Structure formats: structure tokens, C-alpha cells
Chains A and B, each alone.
Chain A
Amino acid sequence: MEVLVQTLVSGILIGGIYALIGLGMTLIMGVMKIINLAHGQLMMVAMYVTYVLFEHFQLDPYFSLLIAMPTLFVIGALIQKYLLNPLIKVESILPENQVLMTVGIGMVLTEIVRFLFHSDYRSVKTPYSTAAIYIQGISFNVPMIVAFGIAVLLSAALFFFLLKTDLGKSVRATAQNKDAAIIMGINAEWITILTYGLGSALVAAAGTLLLPIFYLFPDIGGPFTLKAFVITMLGGMGSTVGAIVGGVVLGIAESLGATYISMALKDAVAMVIFVLVLIFLPGGLKTLTKI
């Protein structure tokens, strides 16, 4: 029983981090229909920003959110403006050119970071890194609870932004019908830049919050990119609530898979779920929950 409960608890908590990763992706995939294979690498860059702030300026990672997120916003916006948007206008045989561009971007980001920081493992050790609360012998990791809380907050903020503000509505409008959005006076190109920037900022939050409990080296991004897809497809593209749900479902599925199947196959469990969702529930959980 304790095994099951602890497995579920850690699954749910890890789900909070996953949700943050998925949140950025759901925006990028949902709005621009770009399969962003550089997502994890953007997160990695944010982690290095946080790391540098911690190492050299002793800034607490939670505080670095305020710097890492805007920094990644700018990086993301530049990528969209100078590398991705120009591709829309070029006719190529495969529409997947944008995807491949993100592969290139991911490689370049990784290698620039490697150039600057070498491949060394780095980490940010805070007093609260290993703090935990115990309820009836079940442990709740404090930084993960915080991350979960921030995930919920950010997704609520994103939800509010997308649903209640004109700008957010413009983002959704551009996603749903770009030409009509332009006719309404929306600068669609600018919106795509904003959206990729926001998506990057969100994944920056994930990276920054993850750092105190995890570690960092230049190649860390790749696996997270894959997770981001799973979460996004699971929750439904463009759905903020879906990102949370998708993150938690993935967290639980992985945890249960690790406990009851095999730790080595937990990522395979995630991938199997992913393929099943693609085939049998192409709209993700969104089609069931409608949000």
C-alpha cells in the first residue's frame, strides 16, 4: 500500500514539472503548429542561466525565474523571427522543414553551451534541495511541491491570459485562423514571435525550478523534448489545462511503470502511451474534457 501511495505521490509531483515543460510546448505546438525539437534545449539554456546566476551572483533559483524567463523569451523570439518565420514563405518539398530547423537550433544551442561551460555536470545546491514533508511515512519533496504550485499558477496565468486579455485572444485567433486574424488587425507574425517567446519563457520556468533538485550538462535537453511532446499530445494541443493534466498523467504513468514494470522501461511506457494517444485519441485528453 505504501509502495502504491508513494509511487502515486511522486508521480503527481513530478507531473508538476512535466506540466511546466508541456505548457510551453502546448503554446508552441498549439499555436504555431511547430514541432519544436529544440524545446528541451531551450530549457537547458535556461538552466545554465539560472546556474550562472547562482554560482556567480548567489541568486536563489526561485528569484532567477525573473531573469531566466525574460532571457529565454528574447532568445525564443529571435529564433522565431530570424529562423522559423522566414521558412513559412519558402516553398520546399517537405513541409517538415521547420521541424528540421529546430533540430539544427537544438544542436547549435547545445554546442554553444558546451563551448562555454564544457560538458561538466553542474548543479545548484540549495538548503531546500532535499527538504521533504512526511505525512504518515509518505514523503513529499518540498521543491517539487513548489514547482507544482508554480506550474498551477503559471498555467492559471496563461489560461487567464489566453482567455481574458485581447492579446491572448489574438494569440488564439492567430492559431485558429491566421488570415482572419490579420484582417482583424492582428500582426500575425509578431504574434508568432511572441508565442514562441512565451513558450520558451515557460520552459525556462520548468528548467529553473528543476535545477535545485536535478543537475545539468549540455546534453540534458533531448529527453525533455520528447517528454514535452508526450505531455502536449496527451493533454491536447493548445490546452493549458491539458498541459497540467497531461503532465500529471505522464508522471503517474511513468511512476507506476517504473514501480510495477521496470525502471529501465519507464520511458518506454511513456512512449507507448504517446503512440496510443496519437492513434486512438488524436486530440488528446482535451477531446474528453473540452478545455
Chain B
Amino acid sequence: MLRVEHVDAGYGDVQVLWDVSFKVDAGEFAVLVGANGAGKSTIMKTISNLVQPSRGEIWFEETRLNGIPPNRIIDLGIAHVPEGRQLFPEMTVRENLELGSLTARAKSHRKQSMEWVMELFPRLRERQKQLAGTLSGGEQQMCAIARGLMSRPKMVLFDEPSLGLSPLLTQDIFRLTHQIHQEGLTILMVEQNVKQTLTICDRAYVLTNGKIVMEGKGRELLENQEVKEAFLGI
């Protein structure tokens, strides 16, 4: 469904990604793991075209993503739940969600989508009038995920959804991403919470210094000695 082929990318004169290739099949739950600053978020941003690759190609289904303006990516069915939530802090939860459904397709289903995400996250229904900036971290993350889902995507990019969340909330988020996956969405997730992520994912890629150094089934990698050393501190 998503193919990233030999991509180099970076910010200005700083190159961050080096010849990155990987793929995500339809219906799959794929995970990127790697240290801070390894370039995981940069990969996500490159897929969303927020960062332009200087080399290589990215394909989504039959569409070549290179050169498409970043704001058109969502039309193709890719939703990006960015690192650090990136909510619109001075707008209400409801408004944030509405802004998730600006594409023509999503707009026509706005009511149903709203119902759907409120079912998924009952907490958001309670807080729909609250300004997003005043939500607790966990609630903010829920709001960000829900906002992503409002576009009725085929695939969701989750960038560290458990960032800054208490273990309890982290559990919630994992349960929810799992549930969304069960509902048929393709997921590409970046997580620091390596162990837990590797446990639930179908496929995983390990990123070090902007290069994919390893790939495999989640559980296989969990057993891998290098991974254990690098990410689990064992």
C-alpha cells in the first residue's frame, strides 16, 4: 500500500534520512523504532510531504507522492497524527475535530465520523466544548488521534502517540490503536515504547541515524539481541 524507495531527506543542509526504503501492506500494523533523533518523525513528515525528499520516491497505492503539495496528501487517504499532538490550542475539541474533516469526502460524512470518534473516545464527547490547549496530555492525544480519523483515512501515521503519557494512558492508547487497526485501517506507527509496540505490531523497522538497519516481524525483533541492547537497555 505504501512504498518508500531509497529516500534521502533532511532540513536545509542537514541530511537526516539516508537511503530509506520500506513498505507497508494494506491492513498491516507497521512500526518504526529508533532512538531520539534517528529520523522517525522525519520519515513521517516525508510521507506527508511536509519534508521534501531530495532523492527517492514514495508511492501510496498507485499514486506517486513526490511533489504533491502536503495539504493534498490527506485527500489520498493518509492521515498524519503528528508528534507532540499539534492541536489547535485555542479552538475547542469539536472545532479541532471538524478541522480533521475538511476534505470533500470527509466533509460529507462529518456527522457520522464525529459520532464514530466520539464512540471511540467517550471522553472527548464530555469535553467537546473545552479548548484543546487546556486538555490533559492524554486527552490531547485522544483528540489528535480522533482528528486524524475524522478524515476517514485508509492509512494513519501515528508519531509517538504515547509521548508524555502516563503508563496508564499509554495502555489506553495502545488499546485504541489496536482497535482502530481491527476496524480495518492500515497503520504506520513510531513509538518509543519499543517493547509494547513490538508486541502488537505486524511488521517493524529499526532506524538508526537515518538508516533502516533492521526489519522483521515485531516479535522476532523483540528477541533480537541488538534490539534488546539498543532499545531495552538490557
Whether chain A touches chain B in the assembled complex (some CB pair under 8 Å):
yes
A: which residues have CB within 8 A of B?
91, 166, 169-170, 172-173, 176-177, 179-188
Q: Which residues of the partner chain B approach A173 to less than 8 Å between Cβ atoms?
A: 88, 91, 99
Q: Which residues of the partner chain A approach B188 to less than 8 Å between Cβ atoms?
A: none
Distance from A191 Cβ to chain B, minimum over Cβ atoms (Å):
10
Distance from B35 Cβ to chain A, minimum over Cβ atoms (Å):
23
Tell me the bound Cα distance from A261 to B177 in angstroms.
66
Does B88 lie within 8 Å of A186, measured CB to CB? no
B74 at the interface (CB under 8 A from A): yes
Residue in B closest to A186 when the chains form the complex, CB atoms: B71
Contact A176 to B90, CB < 8 A, known contacts A166-B102, A169-B95, A184-B147: yes
Contact A184 to B91, CB < 8 A, known contacts A166-B102, A179-B50: no
Does B103 lie within 8 Å of A169, measured CB to CB? no
B80 at the interface (CB under 8 A from A): yes
Q: Which residues of the partner chain B approach A188 to less than 8 Å between Cβ atoms?
A: 71
Does B71 lie within 8 Å of A182, measured CB to CB? yes
Query: Digit string of B72-108 for contact with A (CB within 8 Å is 1, else 0)?
Result: 1111000010100011111100010011101100010
Does A184 lie within 8 Å of B69, measured CB to CB? no
B137 at the interface (CB under 8 A from A): no
Distance from A189 Cβ to chain B, minimum over Cβ atoms (Å):
9
Contact of B86 among A170, A172, A179, A186 (CB under 8 A): A179
Tell me the bound Cα distance from A173 to B95 in angstroms.
9
9 contacts between A and B (CB under 8 A): A166-B102, A170-B99, A170-B102, A177-B87, A180-B87, A183-B80, A185-B74, A185-B103, A186-B102
Tell me the bound Cα distance from A170 to B151 in angstroms.
15
Residue in A closest to B148 when the chains form the complex, CB atoms: A183
Does B80 lie within 8 Å of A169, measured CB to CB? no
Which of the four size classes fits the interface of chain B? 20 to 34
Tell me the bound Cα distance from A250 to B115 in angstroms.
46
Q: Which residues of the partner chain B approach A180 to less than 8 Å between Cβ atoms?
A: 82, 86-88
Tell me the bound Cα distance from A186 to B71 in angstroms.
5
Distance from B154 Cβ to chain A, minimum over Cβ atoms (Å):
15
B70 at the interface (CB under 8 A from A): yes
Query: Digit string of B6-19 for contact with A (CB within 8 Å is 1, else 0)?
Result: 00000010000000
Distance from B89 Cβ to chain A, minimum over Cβ atoms (Å):
6
Q: Which residues of the partner chain A approach B99 to less than 8 Å between Cβ atoms?
A: 166, 169-170, 173, 181, 184, 186
Tell me the bound Cα distance from A184 to B153 in angstroms.
11
Query: Binding site of B, secondary structure by majority: helix, strand, loop or mixed?
Result: loop
Contact of B70 among A166, A169, A177, A183 (CB under 8 A): A183
Does A166 lie within 8 Å of B98, measured CB to CB? yes
Contact of B82 among A169, A179, A187 (CB under 8 A): A179
B48 at the interface (CB under 8 A from A): yes
Q: Which residues of the partner chain B approach A184 to less than 8 Å between Cβ atoms?
A: 71, 74, 99-100, 102, 147, 151
Does B86 lie within 8 Å of A183, measured CB to CB? yes
Does B102 lie within 8 Å of A177, measured CB to CB? no
Tell me the bound Cα distance from A182 to B78 in angstroms.
13
Distance from A160 Cβ to chain B, minimum over Cβ atoms (Å):
14
Contact A183 to B90, CB < 8 A, known contacts A169-B95, A169-B98: no
Query: Digit string of B105-122 for contact with A (CB within 8 Å is 1, else 0)?
Result: 001000000000000000
Distance from B77 Cβ to chain A, minimum over Cβ atoms (Å):
11
Tell me the bound Cα distance from A221 to B89 in angstroms.
35
Distance from A248 Cβ to chain B, minimum over Cβ atoms (Å):
24
Contact of A172 among B73, B90, B102, B151 (CB under 8 A): B90
Tell me the bound Cα distance from A173 to B89 in angstroms.
9
Q: Which residues of the partner chain B approach A91 to less than 8 Å between Cβ atoms?
A: 12
Contact A176 to B74, CB < 8 A, known contacts A170-B99, A183-B50, A186-B102: no
Tell me the bound Cα distance from A187 to B50 in angstroms.
12
Q: Which residues of the partner chain A approach B82 to less than 8 Å between Cβ atoms?
A: 179-180, 183
Distance from A286 Cβ to chain B, minimum over Cβ atoms (Å):
10
Does A176 lie within 8 Å of B100, measured CB to CB? no
Residue in A closest to B80 when the chains form the complex, CB atoms: A183
Contact of B71 among A169, A172, A176, A187 (CB under 8 A): A187
Q: Which residues of the partner chain B approach A181 to less than 8 Å between Cβ atoms?
A: 88, 99
- Sorted nearest first, the 5 A-B pairs with minimum C-beta distance are A180-B86, A185-B74, A176-B88, A183-B80, A187-B71
Does B70 lie within 8 Å of A172, measured CB to CB? no
Distance from B101 Cβ to chain A, minimum over Cβ atoms (Å):
9
Q: Which residues of the partner chain A approach B80 to less than 8 Å between Cβ atoms?
A: 183
Residue in B closest to A190 when the chains form the complex, CB atoms: B71
